[in-house]
Structure 1
Amino acid sequence: MAGYRPERDRDSREWWERIGRGEFAVQVCDACGTARFPARAFCARCRTEGAHWREVAPEGVVESWIVNHQPFVPGLRAPYVVVMVRLAEVPGCFVYGNWRGLRPPEHGERVTASYTRVDADLTLVDWRPGP
């Protein structure tokens, strides 16, 4: 992953800081309570500003996945699998990340997050089988 760094913008900065501390949280709208990922300034449901962060269990089920054969990031070896996970505590919220299973994921498979510390400033969320 030489050279590639996810952008820490005003909306995602807290996500990256929390992940770096091993905390798994989603942004929740202050007005209507809708959870969202990725973090953003306005709620997609009620179109208001204002949100807070709520810690949730880093568990869910595989909703979908792709096998990427193109190394879009310099230094990243392809193929690799990216999964989209429906969170168990917040079923309307989906989070994505690299697959760390020894076999391909299955739709509906229960998964749990794992954290990959790239360096002192970057931790990534990956997914593996099991709760």
Structure 2
Amino acid sequence: MAAYRPEPDRDSRAWWERLARREFAVQRCEGCGTDRFPARAFCPACRSEAWRWRVVEPEGHVESWIVNHQPFVPGLAVPYVVVMVRLTAVPGCLVHGNWRGGREPRAWERARGSYRKVDEELTLMDWEPAG
């Protein structure tokens, strides 16, 4: 099986570009102020198309995780752990990524994002214990 590479689309391209510059951001609706992740064209709360990027710290709490046994991500040996992190700055947003904690995470463990440059075209957000 070939390794999976995220393919930026119309809604996510700018997010991937920001991530490559080591900037973590969510979208904020200019109509109602709702923050959202992942990036999309319309606000799920008010359906407005007006939004801007809001830079936030990549920090939060581990809400759930899985141990993956398929080679979906380039450069990762299986098995590896994928976590869902609820952002501290935006509690309504869950962000997924690879766990770099050296062990399985614990529920509600504090986590901090770290940037991993896979190659010239791809940077990923990994998560690790916030200490």
Question: Structure 2-normalised TM-score?
Answer: 0.91
Alignment partner, residue 126 of structure 1: 126
- Check 1:119–1:58 CA distance in 2 against 1; reply closer, same or farther (3 A cut): same
Deviation digits for residues 11-59 of structure 1 (CA, Å, limit 9, x no counterpart) = 1011111100000110111111111111000111112212110000111
Alignment partner, residue 79 of structure 2: 79
Structure 2: distance between partners of 1:93 and 1:75: 27
Return the letter of the residue paired with 1:91.
P
Q: How does 1:108-119 map to 2 (within 5 A)?
A: 108-119=108-119
Structure 2: distance between partners of 1:130 and 1:4: 27
**Any conservation in 1 of the 2:74–2:118 contact (CA below 8 Å)?**
no
Return the letter of the residue paired with 2:101.
G
Structure 2: distance between partners of 1:112 and 1:121: 23
Q: How does 1:83-122 map to 2 (within 5 A)?
A: 83-122=83-122
| Cα deviation, residue 63, structure 1 | 0.7
Alignment partner, residue 18 of structure 1: 18
| Cα deviation, residue 110, structure 1 | 0.4
Moved over 6 A (4+): none
Q: How many residues align?
A: 130
Alignment partner, residue 46 of structure 1: 46
Return the letter of the residue paired with 1:98.
N
SS of 1:18's equivalent? helix
Structure 1: distance between partners of 2:121 and 2:57: 23
RMSD of aligned C-alpha atoms?
1.7
Structure 1 regions of 5+ residues with no counterpart?
none
Matched-pair identity in %: 68
